[in-house]
Chain A
Amino acid sequence: AQSVTQLGSHVSVSEGALVLLRCNYSSSVPPYLFWYVQYPNQGLQLLLKYTSAATLVKGINGFEAEFKKSETSFHLTKPSAHMSDAAEYFCAVRRDDKIIFGKGTRLHILP
């Protein structure tokens, strides 16, 4: 069964520093993978998705993620953090007729 594991329920970075949010998936076949962002009191918004066309996927707001099959990872990065990036981030994988979400990582931006 496919699932996702997000390492770190809370991550803090300084404004301007690299953002790295980790996601590992378990899958026996190439998966469909997604990253979502949730701002306070809002629903989830799609940041980016991997559908096997390219291993490096660019998303909105300067985020990107790299699919590494050998490491079963799909980590989310952004070169320079901005205060507006403070939010909760969810990695997700499609499993049959459902999307399975990780437990989320809350990103804190330090001034």
Chain B
Amino acid sequence: NAGVTQTPKFQVLKTGQSMTLQCAQDMNHNSMYWYRQDPGMGLRLIYYSASEGTTDKGEVPNGYNVSRLNKREFSLRLESAAPSQTSVYFCASSEGLYSNQPQHFGDGTRLSIL
């Protein structure tokens, strides 16, 4: 019963490098989300996808792009990494945007930008 799977779990990048964080869910959920978590800041929404084929900006989208590849997969791309993007990134999914059902989270990707 995997739930939400994120890869990689850890990554170190140099400033200016690019990378893609992968996320897949096996719960047949319609909506998926990317958050970043920084000390004392809680979780901040980067991008979300209401359903396959749609994406929308969240609270802190600058410097990121996303792709909803299919219903299961939602990737987050850093085109030119900056030290300010050092953070823990979480992917989540839920049945729908307006549902009272909760979000289910992956275990996170810990990203350091040098």
Contact = CB atoms under 8 A, between A and B. Distances in A.
Q: Which applies to chain B's interface (DSSP): helix, strand, loop or mixed? A: loop
Given A32-B100, A34-B102, A98-B58, A43 B4 contact: yes
Contacts of A36: 102
Interface residues of B, number: 21
Kindly name the residue among A36, A42, A43 whose own CB sees the greatest number of chain B CB atoms within 10 A. Answer: A43
A90 B48 contact: no
Contacts, number: 47
Interface string B81-109: 00000000010100001101011111110
A90 B97 CA distance: 19
A103 B42 contact: yes
Nearest to A6: B42
Given A42-B108, A43-B108, A101 B43 contact: yes
B27 interface: no
